[in-house]
Amino acid sequence: MATNRILIADGLDRIGLQILEDSGLFEITVRDAKKSPPASEMMKDIEGLIVRSATQVDEALLKNADALRLVGRAGVGTDNIDIPACTIRGITVMNTPLGNVTSAAEHAVALMMALARHIPKADAMLKAGKWAKTECTGVELENKTLGILGLGKVGSIVARAGRGLGMSVIAYDPFLSREAAAERGVTLVEFQELLKTSDFITLHVPLSDRTRNCIGYAELSMMKRSARMINCARGGVVNEDDLCRALGEGLIAGAAFDVFSVEPTTQSPLFKLDNVIVTPHLGASTGEAQQKVAVGMAEQFVRFFRDGVAVNAVNVAVNVSPQNMPYIELGRMLGKLLSQTGAGDSSNLEVRCMGKAAAEPQAIALATLTGLLEGVTDQPVNFVNASLMARQRGIRLTVSHSSESRNFSSLVQADASGGKRSRSVAGSLFDGTIARIVSVDGFNLDLEPAPCLLMMRYRDMPGMVGKIGTVLGDAKVNIADMTVSRLNKLGEAVVVLTLDQEPGADVIARISGLVQAAEAYLVQL
């Protein structure tokens, strides 16, 4: 049996190590954090790398990793792994997304209870020789409203615990149906309603461009002064400076944080506030969770090197011909466009591949589905789990293909329906490599994908472009390009602006009001 050299860089529970050894597939090196050199200096001839959160899988490491085929994160978060750099090199990245969900949920509940009853403060005062009953009077959880931001695996466990404590549980998750939430005993509400009505708010969303700083001073100002916030999700979801200000001004009663925008850290303004409880990212720090992720990662390594199967891959991990990879990326881009323009809650996704794009329709459709789901769940989405996640969310994927394509040598069209907003988008590849968005809801475009796009639909009238440019100019946002499409003179028009800087929500709202836009979306492709 062939031997594959693997490096365990950050330690692995013994039960996982035993699975690797028993398989007979591997020559295993376990790095000693105190005695061994950095992992980046140990990568020669290493084909598989297992890390937790300490080792940075970055360019410095990858440049010494010519033999590396697989990076495994024994846990859910992949913030320490440069996934695009791995993908470019053909390195599969996988994680264990379910191994620590119970531990993370239980830690959130523990922090909520500690926050409600001032447990750390009471403990510290008593050990300091002060019997401070009146200074540590808390609040009951029963009959309080628990608001959950993100009702995925972790959020659902927290919801179950909240109901068991006699709490009324509400949630905001724009990509989950009311029926699916009701099955969990949870009422879906809008984001602002959750902020205004919750007594406790707990966060369970991934960190992405859309969720980064999604709770700042304005959102904290909407909360009850008696409300408390718990974050066991990801640092950066809450603006920590704004939280400190809100706590200092008494806008909310307290907060408990297990995660921070910079980790590891021993210094933060939050640490100086007596109405804040902090822990050093302990969400997954239980013996059971360590065993689960170790077993999961070891079994995934065995399947990859023995069978060529990539389980829980977080980057492109399908058998696609190299010449067709641009079509895969085009499909994923169309899915992201759908999800970011109001169609993320769709129950039907139809993907049609025409012309040269018809070579691998199933892979392109799966890429489109992955893009649709990406960023709307607390689990990583990939080619392995996208279909399962779609079934869990009640999404029906339909795929068709034709060797003929009018107007374009290749065309991928994606139609989403069954949600709050139906939408049709299409894209093509110029010269077989250059992606373009060529249609949105029947409006013909020639749009080059970019990191920051502002897409609007409004009635075409003189002076609109000037209004838009003035507002963006005042906000110091530069317009790099502009695409306009209309069906009739002075009829409805779709306008897409390519921007060098990301405008704030207030800027978009002002533009939308000035041009009386039927819809306006910030799109990041």
Chain segment 175-195, per-residue pLDDT in tens: 888 999 999 999 999 999 999
pLDDT at 324 (0 to 100): 78
List, for residues 269-297, the tens digit of each pLDDT value. Answer: 999 999 999 999 999 889 999 999 999 99
* Residues involved in catalysis: 234, 263, 281
Q: Is the pLDDT of residue 1 over 60?
A: no
How far apart CA 41 and CA 43 sit, in angstroms, is: 6
Grade residue 316 by pLDDT with cuts at 50, 70 and 90: low
Average the pLDDT over 341-357 and give the result: 93
pLDDT at 290 (0 to 100): 92
pLDDT at 85 (0 to 100): 86
Angle (CA) 379-426-481 rounded to 5° is 95
In the chain, what percentage of residues exceed pLDDT 90? 74
Question: Are 10 and 33 within 8 A, CB to CB?
Answer: yes
CB neighbourhood size of 357 (10 A): 29
Q: Between residues 378 and 277, which one has the greater pLDDT?
A: 277
Average the pLDDT over 4-25 and give the result: 95
In the chain, what percentage of residues exceed pLDDT 70? 97
pLDDT at 373 (0 to 100): 92
- In sequence order, which residues have a C-beta less than 8 Å from that of residue 312 and are 6 or more positions away? 94, 95, 96, 97, 296, 300, 380, 382, 384, 385
Average the pLDDT over 375-397 and give the result: 77
Grade residue 379 by pLDDT with cuts at 50, 70 and 90: low
Angle (CA) 188-193-196 rounded to 5° is 135
Angle (CA) 240-243-247 rounded to 5° is 145
Q: Is the pLDDT of residue 9 over 60?
A: yes
Q: Residue 341: which of 422, 458, 435 has the closest Cα?
A: 422
End-to-end Cα distance, the chain: 44
Grade residue 393 by pLDDT with cuts at 50, 70 and 90: confident
Q: Is the pLDDT of residue 405 over 90?
A: no
How far apart CA 523 and CA 381 sit, in angstroms, is: 19
Domains and CATH numbers, the chain: 4-98+288-307 (3.40.50.720), 101-278 (3.40.50.720), 324-449 (3.30.1330.90), 450-525 (3.30.70.260)
DSSP character string of 95-110 = E-TTTTHHHHHHHHHH
pLDDT at 315 (0 to 100): 80
pLDDT at 40 (0 to 100): 94
pLDDT at 319 (0 to 100): 56
How far apart CA 284 and CA 128 sit, in angstroms, is: 30
- Secondary structure of 43-83 in the HEC alphabet? CCCCCEEEECCCCCECHHHHCCCCCCCEEEECCCCCCCECH
Grade residue 403 by pLDDT with cuts at 50, 70 and 90: confident
Q: Residue 347: which of 392, 288, 405, 402 has the closest Cα?
A: 392
How far apart CA 301 and CA 93 sit, in angstroms, is: 11
pLDDT at 2 (0 to 100): 61
pTM of the model: 0.64
pLDDT at 43 (0 to 100): 96
List, for residues 243-265, the tens digit of each pLDDT value. Answer: 999 999 999 999 999 999 988 89
